[in-house]
Amino acid sequence: MAKFYIYKDSRGEYRWRFRANNNEIIADSAEGYKDKDDCKRGINLVKQQSPTAEVEDQTAATSSRY
């Protein structure tokens, strides 16, 4: 089952990872949060916004979306 994981980094800040069904990390917070609730808000933003997020291919000669 795909799942978000909250953990503390070496600086004592909260971060999240998202692991796919095969347990591979496919996304992470890329920043630390001093407050655990802020970390949870970051997870919720990803959950809310990703279903409708566009994909922009920036490797194409002209930027394309799909």
pLDDT in tens, 6-23: 999 999 999 999 999 999
pLDDT in tens, 27-49: 999 999 999 999 999 999 999 99
- Averaged pLDDT score across all residues of the chain: 93
Output the pLDDT for position 66.
Answer: 60
* Backbone CA torsion sign across 40, 43, 45, 48: negative
Number of neighbours of residue 38 by Cβ within 10 angstroms: 14
Statement: the pTM of the whole predicted model exceeds 0.85: no
Output the pLDDT for position 60.
Answer: 77
Contacts (Cβ under 8 Å, ≥6 apart) of 40: 6
